[in-house]
Amino acid sequence: MRIGLYPGTFDPITLGHTDIIQRAMALVDRLVIGVAINRDKGPLFTLEERVEMVKAECDAITAVTGGEIIVHPFENLLIDCARDVGAGVIIRGLRAVADFEYEFQMVGMNRAMDDSIETVFLMADARRQAIASKLVKEIARLGGDITRFVTPPVKNALIARFAQPEARPKAQKK
Active site residues: 17, 41, 95, 133
Output b/e per residue, 54-77; b: 16+ Cβ within 10 A: bbebbeebeeeeebebebbebeee
The answer to whether the beta carbons of residues 36 and 6 sit under 8 Å apart is no
Amino acid at 28: V
